Chain A
């Protein structure tokens, strides 16, 4: 019997059942000026509705209003595509609708990519990312790559269905501190493990911090295959990557202490989140 893996990743049903339309009425983009807020809502809904011929128009408009590429990606684009994911999970959306939203994302990201590179503040490190062999999913990995780029990393995106040899080649060529494997299918997630094994066999493991991500991926899977970090979204990926190259740069890849440090980031985040929820609840009742 091959691997026993938990392919049914847990998700928060409450979150999924949250009615997105209601959130239109809340101040999601609280600190933004009114016209920017409206623009963000338009962009978000453009992605949800999959009207990809109009996407670049909204992006251009936002950029004219001096919104940074980074804010757009982490803001309305991320919330828009997350809502598409929620609808897909709940059988409100099917593949045609999802493909249309994916087109919006691709068009927006193509426009934003050069800006992200230009927005890059400092040089913090080098990252190689790719979707593992056999898997054609692109968007999630692209977002991670661009958010890392914006955070100051030099990112080499190897694309989709990347065979282990291509990762090895890129690691030898670019000497990254971090390599990230994306996998969006239960049938391809095992390729993260296989790729990691090949990297170890080539003697490259110790010099690398290995990140894994994708819909079926979990912390348990990360632990099982011996990767250094699992990131549930692009922002966490950036945070952990930054920690790796700044605070934990002297730790070797595969080191349990490094792994613990990564988990600590999740814990701190969780704590902050529940702290915030508590404050909000208090404010609501009080």
Chain B
């Protein structure tokens, strides 16, 4: 590809930057991400070569996530607009290693795995069992390093936290390689920015705050810790926030000037029905940490790229007041916009409520439509989503989570083709079939008990 340094900004990047800045671009920008298997599947289907060794992929943020950024050659072939880069080196993130059964340092929360099981420990000390399935596999969590520390007397727990062997955010092993063999992370980002037309999203963190806290103590415990061990939880979140900030600073030192926007470590805050926590707990126990992380990272990022934006990820149905809290922290955008969640927090509701304040990324359903729907189903959903999200800019179209191996290649191609056709501005005024126009919408109610419902039966 010819160098494009010094020329006009390429249309792919321009439309992405427009969308990020809440301006209407020429077309809705498109980008993809996937699991290793989904990615291999796609490359194979397009007749492109790919690495068959499942475990030798550069992954999202850490080895266990098994997700891959689609490289430049795949982006060119598909005709998308932006690519992603993060800090998970091929062959394992630093500190991720296999363990012998008798080396496992913490009690397991599952029945003892068979002797031939492949047990790993990740860079945070979380014990993970390699769990293969017919198309690949994943790293299932089976042991949590701070499971017992949360129930210890506070001083003891704090001491454990203090002495814990946390990963080193400045470990250079995270920057040595990139999706292009032989290029370092920095060289790759420079190459994308200067020699390709694509916009670039970066992810510098390896864990996150609430998300990593869940992995440190386990899902069964983290939620009761909000009530039972709030001091310990707070201390742990302070530590995890420090690490998230450091990871991002280290990443930005490598490539901040080349990265068009930055995605913080993913934080799942909600189920498909509603938030995991009450608004009160969220505001008091999580927001202060999100505030510090976002502000510090953003400040540092601005020194490298004054236009840089911050994107926040959560799955599930996050109600509007929670999103406002995140915006107040300095978050500029949100992914992954799952469409099949409770209506109070579906994509259309988010756009109507928050569309003037943040951009949105994702939105094309990976739970049913992409894997199981027909190409017509996919096209229909793409039209709906673009109509719901695209007016006024601020929408980057992508799958609502990683593309997995069960997504037929024709569905992925139909998604891109339809997005290109229908997603050309100006967008139609009239809603396409099935679009959520907001009619009959009821917002999430933060105080359901205030509504007194059934009158008491009259006394006899």
Contacts and interface: CB of A to CB of B under 8 A. Distances in A.
B444 interface: yes
A153 B456 CA distance: 41
Contacts of B277: 94-96
Contacts of A92: 448-449
A191 to B, nearest CB: 15
Interface stretch (A13-21, A54-62, A63-71, A239-247): A13-21
B452 A19 contact: yes
Interface residues of A, number: 23
Interface in B405-460: 444-445, 448-449, 452-454, 456-458, 460
Given A1-B372, A14-B454, A99-B224, A94 B276 contact: yes
Given A50-B227, A94-B278, A97-B227, A22 B456 contact: yes
B287 interface: no
Contact of B223 (A1, A95, A283): A95
Interface string A21-44: 010000000000000000000000
Q: Tell which of B224, B274, B453, B456 has the most Cβ of chain A within 10 Å.
A: B224
A18 B278 contact: no
B228 interface: yes
A102 B145 CA distance: 23
Contacts of A136: 220
B454 A283 contact: no
B80 to A, nearest CB: 28
A20 to B, nearest CB: 10
Contacts of B453: 17-19
B289 to A, nearest CB: 16
Contact of A19 (B281, B454, B458): B454
B226 interface: yes
Contacts of A103: 224
A134 to B, nearest CB: 11
Interface size class of B (residues with CB under 8 A): 20 to 34
A91 interface: yes
Interface in B183-239: 220, 223-224, 226-228
Given A91-B274, A95-B277, A2 B228 contact: no
Contact of A284 (B224, B228, B457): B457
A272 B297 CA distance: 64
A186 to B, nearest CB: 10
B75 interface: no
B327 interface: no
A6 to B, nearest CB: 15
A232 interface: no
A100 interface: yes
B458 A284 contact: yes
A17 B454 contact: yes
B272 to A, nearest CB: 10
Interface in A81-112: 90-92, 94-100, 103
Contacts of B223: 95-96, 98-99
B276 A95 contact: yes
B149 interface: no
Interface string B157-196: 0000000000000000000000000000000000000000
A29 B226 CA distance: 34
B445 A91 contact: yes
A175 B372 CA distance: 41
B460 A284 contact: yes
Nearest to B457: A284
Contacts of B448: 90-92
B275 interface: yes
Contacts of A96: 223-224, 226-227, 277-278, 281
Interface string B266-288: 00000000111110010000000
Nearest to B319: A91
A18 B458 contact: no
A8 B420 CA distance: 35
A95 B449 CA distance: 17
26 contacts: A17-B454, A19-B452, A19-B453, A22-B456, A50-B227, A90-B448, A91-B274, A91-B444, A91-B445, A92-B449, A94-B275, A94-B276, A94-B277, A94-B278, A94-B281, A95-B276, A95-B277, A96-B227, A96-B277, A96-B281, A98-B223, A99-B224, A100-B224, A284-B457, A284-B458, A284-B460
Interface of A: 1-2, 14, 17-19, 22, 50, 90-92, 94-100, 103, 136, 161, 283-284
Given A96-B223, A98-B223, A284-B458, 15 more contacts: A1-B372, A2-B372, A17-B453, A18-B453, A19-B456, A90-B448, A92-B449, A94-B274, A94-B275, A95-B276, A97-B227, A99-B220, A99-B223, A100-B227, A284-B457
